[in-house]
Structure 1
Amino acid sequence: MKTIHEQSNLIILRNTTEDDLDFVVQTERDLENAKYVLQWTKEQHRGAMEDEDMLHLVIEDSQTHNLVGYAIIAGLKNYDRNIELKRIAISEKNKGYGREAIKQIRKISFEDLNGHRLWLDAICKNHKAHRLYESEGFVQEGVLRECMFINGQYESIVVMSILEEEYRSNFKNR
């Protein structure tokens, strides 16, 4: 497993531990997050932590060290160097944690993991997330219509990505 410990003035991004799993499951079951994030069991998260093709990370407030979110990155072994931001969920909204986590994940993907493309998908009705991703350099690639059955209904998702060259030109030294 690759060890990650990235720190900014606002957050610390580090590998998830067994002790963090209750927080992770609780965060994705939060009423606001559950509308947009698939629900996994603790065992599924544990499996992602052990998977050599994934990074399961928690997000801490850098001052208080309280957990404020988590993220899962997949595709570490992808031959085409396509890294997927598989999941991100923040427990404390509107404090900048999500934006800062996206910046750190982007940096890890291109600088530490040697990615060529960082991509994600997001439920179409999650407009706040789309605005955040676009402001951080992600470009919409397309919509997969009603492809996921979440909370008893079919949802469409938008696929977004940022390429290595776009990152190096616009974000590397920020």
Structure 2
Amino acid sequence: MESILIQGESISLVYSKEEYIDYIIEAESDPHNAPYVFQWTKAQHIEAMENPDILHITIVENESFEKVGYAIVAGAKSPHKAIELMRVVISKKSHGYGRESLNLIKKLAFEILDAHRLWLDVKEYNYSAINLYKSEGFKKEGLLRECILYNGNFDSLVVMSILKKEYKQPSIEDLIFEP
């Protein structure tokens, strides 16, 4: 049995294992995910799994223990109490696993790791993710203009964050998307 880091209603977050890497690389290179996710090598994933400041997490269904995604969270040992959500990839779409994963990651950051701030960056054209983050209390902090070279084009990244004091109290402004 896997050791569960945190459990939700339909999914759980477990520590990733080296034996999961083929699944993880397949999930991030899937055509539905690849335009939005940095592609890592097996060695990079293993290095992240071994780094005590990084939580490399696999998302599994509670009943079947089927892998449905993964996430990478950095800053677990940050003296500034700032946690970075480096990546969330969902391979089994349209089941609400993205939202539930995000809620479990917020709970992990604020209730278990005692973070003050949870932040992320997201490609500017990933409207679905931006809307999800806004609906879950994240605020847009800024734009890193044309900072990533992807398929011969420069992409911009939107930086978003949520503070511990905002964690359970989203305002109406947080629910309105502004492109």
Name stretches of at least 5 consecutive residues in structure 2 with no aligned partner.
Answer: 171-179
* Equivalent position of 1:23 in the other structure: 23
Shift of 1:169: 3.9
Tell me if 1:67 matches 2:48: no
Aligned residue for 1:120, secondary structure, equals strand
In structure 2, give the amino acid aligned to 1:26.
E
Shift of 1:157: 0.5
Q: TM-score, structure 2 length as denominator?
A: 0.91
* Equivalent position of 2:157 in the other structure: 157
* Equivalent position of 2:53 in the other structure: 53
CA distance in 1, matches of 2:139, 2:154: 24
Shift of 1:120: 0.3
Provide the alpha-carbon RMSD of the alignment.
1.2
**Does the 8 Å contact 2:4/2:12 carry over to 1?**
no
Distance 1:4 1:84, change over 3 A: farther
**Does the 8 Å contact 1:90/1:97 carry over to 2?**
yes
* Equivalent position of 2:177 in the other structure: none
CA distance in 2, matches of 1:94, 1:125: 20
* Equivalent position of 1:33 in the other structure: 33
In structure 1, give the amino acid aligned to 2:161.
S
Shift of 1:119: 0.2
* Equivalent position of 1:106 in the other structure: 106
Aligned residue for 2:36, secondary structure, equals coil
In structure 2, give the amino acid aligned to 1:99.
R
Q: Sequence identity, in percent?
A: 48
Name stretches of at least 5 consecutive residues in structure 1 with no aligned partner.
Answer: none
Q: Give matches, 1:95-134, under 5 Å.
A: 95-134=95-134
Aligned residue for 1:63, secondary structure, equals coil
Aligned residue for 2:33, secondary structure, equals helix
Tell me if 1:138 matches 2:138: yes
**Does the 8 Å contact 1:84/1:120 carry over to 2?**
yes
Shift of 1:54: 0.3
CA distance in 2, matches of 1:6, 1:77: 18
**Does the 8 Å contact 2:75/2:84 carry over to 1?**
yes
Tell me if 1:147 matches 2:153: no
In structure 2, give the amino acid aligned to 1:122.
V
CA distance in 2, matches of 1:16, 1:135: 28
CA distance in 1, matches of 2:167, 2:113: 14
* Equivalent position of 2:175 in the other structure: none
* 4+ aligned runs moved over 6 Å, structure 1: none
CA distance in 2, matches of 1:169, 1:141: 18
Write the deviation string for residues 17-45 of structure 1: whole angstroms up to 9, x where unpaired.
11111100100000010000000001100
Shift of 1:168: 4.4
Q: TM-score, structure 1 length as denominator?
A: 0.93
* Equivalent position of 1:82 in the other structure: 82
